[in-house]
Each structure stands twice: as C-alpha cells, then as structure tokens.
Structure 1
Amino acid sequence: MKKIRIPLFYKLFIAFILCSTIPMVIISGMMYGLSVNFLNKIMYEQTYNSIATAHERIDSKLEEYTDIILALQTDETIINVLSNGIEVNFNENIIYEKIFDTIKEQKIKPAVHIMNISGDLIFSTSPMPKVYEVDSKNSWGIFRDINKADGRSVVYPQQIVYSGGSNSIISLGNQILNEKGQCIGYIVVDIYRDIFLEELRMINSGIPLHIVMLDENLYTILDVQNPSMEGKFQRASYLDREKIMEFKSIRNEIKKDSYLTVHYVDDVVGITTTANVPSSIFRQLNSILQVILLVGCMISLSICCALSILIARYISNPIRELICIMGQVEEGSFNVKAKFNNNDEMGDLGKYFNRMVDRLKEYMNRVIEKQRELRTTEIKMLQAQLNPHFLYNTLDVIKWSTKLGQKDEVISVVTNLAKILRNSIDCEEEFVSVKKSIDFIESYLAIQKIKYIDTFNVIIDIEKEIFEYKIPRLILQPFIENAILHGLNNSVQVGIIAINGRLKEDGLEFEIFDNGIGMTGEEIQRISNYRTDQHIGIYNVDQRIKLYYGDEYGVDIQSEKYKGTKVIIKIPCSIGGNNL
C-alpha cells in the first residue's frame, strides 16, 4: 500500500494547531464549568440575600403592626368601651381616631378590627369579614391561636377577600385584657397582599423570580406569579383536578422548569419563601457564555492558525529551498548555493551542504578529467590498433599500384592517406563535426576501393543541415571497416555499403548498411559485449556513446545470416559537444 506523502509544512501546521487547540479546548471547558458554577453561586447568593433583605423589611413591618396592636390593646378608652359597652352620648369616632392615629404613618394602611369577646361590638377600618363573626364566637381560626398565645401577638396566615378587591394574606391578632387580666375582646390587623408585594419589589436581583411564601404546613400565603394558588396547600390532591383552572403548584413547576431554587426560612414569623429561577434564564446565560467562549476560541484559533502558518513556513521554507537546490545538483548543476542566514541547525545544514557540493563538484571535475583522459587514450589506442593494419595494407596498395604504373591511383592513395594520418595526429578533440567525420570516411573508403577493385559500391546520403553538429570522434569508421573486412570480404556478390544520416526528433541517427554475409544473434551478442581484434571498436563505440549521453543512446545492430547487416547509431544533437 502506497503511503500518503504529507509535506513537512502541513505536518508542522497540524502539529502546531493540535498543540494550541487541545489546551484551548480543555481550558475552555474548564472555564465554562467554572463560569457556570460561578454564575450559580452568584445568582444563588444574590437571590438569597435579596429575599433575606425583603424578609427583614417584612419582619420590620410586622413589628410595626405589632406595636400598633400593643398601642391599641393598652388604650384605656378602648378597654373601657369593650368592658362596659358604649355609654349614652359616647362618640365612637374617638375610637376610630385612635385607630387611624396609630396607622397614619403606613403607606398602605392595613385593616384593623377591634371587637368585644361576644362579637356584638365591633370597630373596624374596613368591612368586618363575616368569618371573624363566626370564628370569634366559636373560638376558631385566628381566635383559637390568640387564646392559646398567652398574651403574645399571633401571626396567622389566611386569605380574606375584601369587597374593594383587596386581599389580605396574613393577619396579626392579640387579646385585649381588662385590669384584672381577663380577656374582654380581640384586636386583629389584616395585612394586605399589596403590602408584601411592595416589600418584595425591593428585591433588585435583575432576575425574573417566581416567589412563593409558604407556612410550615405548605399553605400558600403569597404566590407572586400565580395568585390563584394563594390560600391553598401545595400538596392538596384537589390541585390535580383544578389544573384546568390554572392552579399550579410551585413544587410541580420546580420539577418541570427549574434552574435554581432558593429557600429562605424566616424563623421570626414561621414563613418559608421559595424563589424559583426558570431554566430559560440559564439557557439565556448559557447561550451568552457559549457565544463568548466560541468567539474567544475562534479569535484564538485564528491567531493560532496565522502564527502556525508563519512558524511552519519559517521552519519548512529553508528545507524546501534545500530540496530544490538538491534537485538542481541532482540534475548536474554544481554552481548553486544554499543561502541560509539562520544561526541554528538549518544554518549549519546549509553550510555543510555547500561544502559537500563544492567537494562533489571538485570530485566530479576530477572524474570528468580522468574520463576525458581515458577517452583520449581509448581513441589513441583505437587508432593505434587501426593504423598498423591499415598502413600495412595501404603501403601494399601503393607498392603494387606503382609497379603497375597506376599513377593516378598512387596519387589518390597518398593524398587520402595523408588526410587520414593528419586526422590521427590531431586527436586531442573528443568531438568533431559530422562533415569532418564524413570527409575522413570518404578518404578511408577511397583507399579501400582501390584495394578491393570493383568488389563494393558506397552510397553516402547525409543531410546537409546536420553537417555542423558535433559527434564523438571515430564512431562511424569502425562499423564501415568491419563491414568491408568481415561483411563483404567473403561475399560472392558485389557489395553495397550505404551510409545515411538524418535529423530526428530525439537527435541524430546514422545508419550503416552492408549486404554482406550478415551475422547470427549469438555473433551480434558476442561482438556487442566484448572487445575483439576481429571487430575493432564496436564495443568501445557503444560504451563511449552511453558514457557521453546516457543509456537511451548508443549502437543497435540488426542482422540476419546471409542477408546483410544494418547498424543504427543514435546520439543527441549537439554543437561543440554540448547537448541542445
């Protein structure tokens, strides 16, 4: 399975993002949890303190009403009237003046009721509730608690609906005693619902609260949001049947929709206040907190991404540049340099790389020089191998031509031999033009045609546009010599040697064809892989071409026994020995 290649830049970028994102997620989660706990604590403390403050005001208000009761129950005029009844010419307004005088400082004035023990003498600032007329005679309700209180004021939760639309939710009451300590009547102060609402409005928590006041029996004294529950017990079974009339228990609400519930117990009056914070508040706060954290995380992540990109580029760019330079060196360019100014490992890497390239360049120059020397030596050896045989045969031709009086042939042989010897002496150049190589071959063939009279014909077809291209020295002549010596020498027919040169898309292509005796595949393999005296230079030519230009160029021999041989030589186009 092929491995996926991930560039170093992306590896560094991903690593930096992970190293910054993971702690950010952990810290954000911790901050979220701590923030939620902190909000819970703040909301609880703020709500609890607000309710406590409201209860302090309510307790203070109840103390004021208790003082009103004390002032009225000890008033001699009221005691005398309740003890002896109303005398002739007695003005009842005196009693009312005393009552109103005690409550004149109250912003919302409570209902005050004064009655004798039999209930037939009543002084009241509001219409006397009928329940008091019955309860006082039978010692029920608040009057039962008053009789058991031994002279202490009683706080009695009850709902009384007045004709004016005002409701009282708590009543304070006490006995009125005569000089002998006997109970002669009662005084009851009904505290209106609005008085409690006025005090609860002072709660400045900034949070919508559902506030319910309950007594120790879970009797609903006050329900700010659901007044229909006032005067009912939270655990009453009939509430389930009255849901259609919007009777809703605070306990059910807490179960269904509650985020925070605060309970405050007022031991002074025996009232428990429950404040329920709905879950919608938490959802709003949670949404705000999540948005803040999300925006913060997005900003932080953006900054981290930007910094990660900069740092990753700072680290990876020198490596990428070094890889690019290494690619140029691989392609043979040794003049490039790694220009790193970093005072770190990357700077050291660039410095050592430059040293390596310089040494490699020096080594390659030495190798190239040695190869050039070797190639020159090989050419000289090839010529040395060629010249003794060729000179001997040529001198033999001159001798016999002279004896036969063939003056023109002698002149031609001597002239062409001089050209060949001059070319052999001037062998320092590794590359010669195509035209110069063809001139050398024509001189060589002119001598051979005189030697082998009428045994072969030569056809030379070289495109003129390739005359100036450079080719390695002595890459064509060995194949022509082998064609004459081994291909046509034993042939019974007139031999043909065709020399073609063409410009192809991938370089120069030369073909040398002879219609001689040909070769088998084994013979081709043998002369292509070994250097022998019988087939001089063939192996050297192929190796030299591959050494110069690469394995995609070289010599290809195609032959069949008794059908001739074709040699194809492929080299790239070059001028002055440099590839185009």
Structure 2
Amino acid sequence: MKLGNRIASLASSLSFKRKMIVLMMVILISIVVLIEVVIYNVSIPLQMNAALNENTQEVGYISERLDMVISNYDWFMNALTMDDVLQSILKKPYTNRLDEQLLNFDLEQRLISNSILATDKIENIFIYDTQKYRASVLHSHDFDNVYLELDTQRYNSEGNIHWKVEGSKLYIHRAIRDHKSLKIIGYMTVSVQISYLDEIINTAIKRYTLIVNENGQLMLQNQAVSVSGVNFKEVLAKETALQGKSGIIDIVPLGQAMMVTKVSQFSLWKTISIVPLSQVASETRLIGKWIVGIGIVGVLAGSLITWISFLHLMRPLGELTRAMKLVDQENFNLRVNIRQNDEFGRLGRSFNRMMDKIDYLISEVYLKELSRKEAEYKALKAQINPHFIYNTLETIRYLAEFDERDKVEMITISLGRLLKASIDHKSDMITVRDELVYIDAYLKIQNTRFADKVDVKVFVEGGIYGHLIPRFILQPLVENAFIHGLENKIGKGDLLIKGWAEGGMIHFRIQDNGIGMDEKTLSELFNPDRTEKEKKIGAGTGFLNVHNRIKMLYGDPYGLNVQSSPNIGTIVEVQLPIQPELGGNFHV
C-alpha cells in the first residue's frame, strides 16, 4: 500500500510531457521484454537439442579416428615384436662384449628397416632382452634415461600392449614372445609425441575433450581442458553418475555443461566431451543482446522524438515555468517572449506587465536604500580623518615645546603626505602598496614621538602589493595600537604588521604587546552606541569605524576580529576579499 501511494504521488508530481515519455518507454520496453522471453523459452531449448546431436556426432567421429590410430600402432607393434629376424637376433647368445655389440648393432639395423615407414609417427624405440637394455632407435634425444634400463613392471606379462602417458609423450609397452614357444624373450617400448594425437581431439575451440583408457586413467586431453583447469576426477565422477549417457552436469569452473560419452569398440577407451551451456546458446544470447540493444536504441529514439514534439508544443509553458523559477531567485529583470495569440500568449503578456510593475517598485526602494548607505559610508570615512589629525597635531605640539625643529619638519612633511592622501577623492580604493606608504608616514611620526620605545616590524607578502583595499583601512588600526595600547605601556613595546593572501581573501594582522583590554571593554568594542557613550576622542572609535566600513563594502563574511588580554596585548585581524591586481612590487 505504501509503495502504491509513493508511485501514485510520483506520477502526480510529473509533468504531462514526462508522463507521455514514460508511457512511450513502458510500451517499448514491454515489447523488448516479450521478444526476450520468446527467445529464451523457445529458441534456446531448440538450439540445445541441435547442439547435443552435433556433439554426439563429433564425439563418435573422434572415437572412430582414435580407434584407427590405436589399431595402426597395434599393427606396428605386432610387426616389430613378431619379426622372425629380430626374434632370432634377440635369442642368440653371446659370450663376450664384442659379440654383444655386434648383435645389438644388428638389432638396431633391423628396427630401423622395419620402422622406416613410420618415422613421422614415432619418436624412439627401445628394445630389451629378458635381462637388460640392448638397443634403440632414437629420432629424438628428448627422453627419460630410465628407458636405458629394463623395468619389467612396465609390461603386461601376457604380452598385451600397454599404453601410458608420461609428460608430453605417450609410451607403448609390449613384451616380446617367441612366436613358437610363446615364452617371453624380450621387451619393447615405443614413444609417440602426444601432439600427434592432439590433432584428433582438438577439433573445436569450445569443446573440452578427454580420453580415458579402460582402467579409468587419463590418456589425452585437449588444450581447452588444460587451460580451463577442469578437474579430471570430478569429470570422471560426473561421467560415472550419468552411466555413460549424455546429460547436463554442473562442473567447476564451467558451470552448467553438456556431457557426451562414447566408448571405443576396439580399444574400450572412452571419449568424453564437455560443452558449456553458455557457449551452446551464445549465438542465441547474442541475438537477444542485439534485440535488447536495438530496443534500448528504440526506447531512446522514441523518447527523443516524443521529447522534441512536446518541447515544441509546450515551449511557451516551459518558458513561463523557467521565468517563474528565476523570479524565485530574485531575478526581476526577466521577461518572456511569447508571440502566440492563444492562452499561452495572453498568460505571457500578463506576466510581463506584472514584472514591469514589480521591477519599478523594487528599483525605487533600492535607490533609496543605496543613497542612505552611501551617505552613511561617507560619514564613517569622515570620522577617521579628524581623529587622526588631532593625534598627529598633539605629537607636533609636543615636539615643538622642546624645539625639535628637524623632527617637526619631518613630521610635518609626513603629515602633509597623509593629509594630501586623505583629501584625494578620486577613488575610495587604493593598493596595499599605497596604504603601506601612508602607514610608513604615520610610523615616522610616531617613531619620532616614542623614540626607541616601540619596535615596529612589517611583514607583507609581495604578491598582494597590487591588490585593492579601501583607503585608510589599516592606518587607523595602527594608530589605535599606538595610542590605546603602547603609549601607556611601561617599558619597551613591540608592534607587528603582517599581511598575506589565503583562501581567496587578503588577511592583515596588527599585533602589539601594549596594555590590552579587559573582557568588558572588548565586548563593547563594536557596540554601535559606543561612540555616543565615550567622551574621550578616539577611545575605540577607530575599530568600530573601520569595521563598519568593511561590512558596508563587502558584507558579513568580512570585517575585524579583535583578541585582547590586559597587560598582554591586542591582536587585530582584518579580512578583505581579493581585488584585481595592478602589478608592481613594494618593500617596507
């Protein structure tokens, strides 16, 4: 019920255009799903039966070819072991080493002559008497040295042919019986490269083929089995469970697979073929994937056509919707351009008339507020200059009392520079470089007054010298550090002026170790009524004025941050946005 309600709520929230697109997509997807169901429930079973028949025929063909090869090797072994000349040489006694070597040479020559027509099918031939190794015909030197010694355990005591796989070679062992007395007079081993037989079983890439002898030993397997890591014992167990019949099995790592078994009538060897079902139906699944792909393209194309059609039909309504969203974001200068004479056209013209009225009312209120803030800003800026002049004139008066003419001249020049800058109204914004020049002029005045009482250090990053900041934004803070922090300090004072850029803002720090402020004074520092309460000129008004100027120019994220402790000092931090650079360098 909850899920149904959610679906209904979602459907009701969709626009008409999106509902039609969703409907089109549902119809197309349903058609594609129906086609896929038919493919997987009809086509794949038919292909499975066809693959089973084909696999059964192929396994029968492999078994027949294998019988032919085994019978040829049996005939070859019979021809060698039953040869009268070879048996007579093998039975001849010898009394010394020379006689043995001559007889062995004859054996080797006889083996060569009898096997000359089969050199492309065999590698090496080893012959032994009943006691030891006698001779060999080596077409390949890649063999195990154990075959240079007789081991009767390799051979069937009844004289039957015994096949054995060792590494990459297939060995055929047989005892040599006297064709008259039937007594064992020797033994013979022939090695064959497995690659010769691989051609028989490597008939298909997708088929996993194994050859098992009558004793359940693995004789051959194609390359696909070797690479896949199929376990032979598991294959043998699955084949036993099927009792030699064809069927579907689960085997690691192939998953579900089709198994077909054929027993050779001549050698009794089993040919086991395994074909993964994923490969049997791969072509049908590929067709299904193509249909899915075509269906997806059809869904997208249908959606696109539907979208374009409705976009054209519903364009006026969409334009009005976008306009209303922008109006919600306080964009009141927006107008719509709907030239139709239907309901949408009349709605658009009504919207434009409403926006004209709103824009007029907002503009009127905005201009009044802008005029008020500009007047307030100029008043704040004007409060700084008289306060600075007053403190500077007090310093000049103090020096004049002691007839310090040179110092008075230097202070007067510095004061003149500051006054000239203060009455320059070309721009309210100056570079950090120019503000440092004003501070430098002010410091000359104060250093003259305080002599060596205050140690001033200025560290400003060269990269911010060309950035713009409000005029006289730092000088009042430096002045407050002197007048309200260092002037009444007993002993030597320190003043640090530091500037740097970080996080998209310009930071300034004015730090002194003067008398500081208590918590009450600090809490009242930015109180807007402080200037009315304080009768003493300059008692904290510099902080408030500078702070208010920054807030009016840049907004709440910027301004002053003041930390102070009594008898420890005061730290004033200023945060300003980065303005475009003018270039150049300045060193203080």
For the criterion TM > 0.5, the same-fold answer is no
Q: TM-score range by the shorter chain?
A: 0.3 to 0.5
Structure showing greater radius of gyration is 1
What TM-score do the two structures reach when normalised by structure 1? Answer: 0.44
